[in-house]
Amino acid sequence: MDEILRQFQFRLVRRVTPSTTELIQKWSARALQEDKIIRTSETLSEDHLSDLYVTLPSRDGSGRPAQVPVVGEQLAYGHHLVFFHRRHPERALRWDGTEAEFAPPGPYPRRMWAGGTMVWKKPLRIGEKAVSTAKIASVDLKGETIDDSKVFVKQNITIRREETGEECIREERTHVYLPSGQRGSGRKQESQVPTANFRFSFTPSLTTLFRFSALTFNGHMIHLDKTYAQEREGYPERLVHAPLTALMMLEVASIYKPDARFRMFDYRAVSPLVACRRVSFTVTDDRDNSMRLWAQDDEDAVAMKGWLSYT
């Protein structure tokens, strides 16, 4: 009986072996040394933005008067997120519908968007052409056991105006890769959420998720397939896209401060945001020319935190 119990416990605690650590380290070193750059050129199309505008409750007439994109106007903050996506045939995608370029090897097949930073240098204009370059900036393996370990892959992204080469947006974007079998993380209550200066709420529906997936050419099944989300990822429903949550934070900040010029946005995904539950976006004035931002679900679990500076 003791031997059976010992073997059972050994199976439960799967250590990160030296071979796994070495595999990740070698892959990381090779990726950084090769300096692999993914370059994507795209026109900031008013037609594509029209589809985004009718998807966002902050622009479709729900949160403020309905808007239409106009060629020559400044691209709104965060709206670059629906551009510059790699276009792969389905056979080239990973088993969960995500891209393979920056995915680490080993027992870490599941991907989540963990957070990032955006810095605005020069305004992009609707209708012009821009170029995005992305490369791996760092790889970090954390955790001692397979079940609690994670691989964080950070990308550096630069977006330039194609005609002049001017740098317009600098972005850091981090994905976390999780082992198979690790259940979805639970929602986290926030004990000290400051008093809101402004709040905007809406319910991201399954239609919202489908449309945003289409806008970003995102085939990740965690946003599209309920059975997959439940049985393979351990969530009760499909999950809202982290970039949609981040974009909505910026939208709500722009409603609160319509004349502000945003400089830097830093955000972190805290816990999953489940589809068809009402979410509130909260803005709180911080020190001079900055705001703190929260996205909370209908049970006050914090899904994302952010900090935004402006002039």
Instruction: Find the range with the poorest average confidence among 25-34, 195-204, 238-247, 302-311.
Output: 25-34
Find residue 150's DSSP bridge partners.
Answer: 142
pLDDT at 267: 98
| pLDDT interval class at 182 (50, 70, 90) | low
pLDDT at 31: 81
Query: Considering only CA atoms, which of 254, 281, 264, 260 is closest in space to residue 196?
Result: 281
pLDDT tens-digit profile of 262-302? 999 999 999 999 999 999 999 999 988 999 999 999 888 99
For residues 123-142, average pLDDT: 96
pLDDT at 192: 64
For residues 121-139, average pLDDT: 97
pLDDT tens-digit profile of 241-269? 999 999 999 999 999 999 999 999 999 99
pLDDT at 188: 60
Cα angle value 137/138/139 (rounded, 5°): 145
| pLDDT interval class at 157 (50, 70, 90) | very high
Longest Cα–Cα distance of the chain, Å, equals 74
- At 246, the amino acid letter reads A
State the pTM of this model.
Answer: 0.91
> What's the topology of domain 13-310?
Thiol Ester Dehydrase; Chain A (3.10.129)
Spatial distance between the Cα atoms of 243 and 113, rounded to a whole number of angstroms = 8
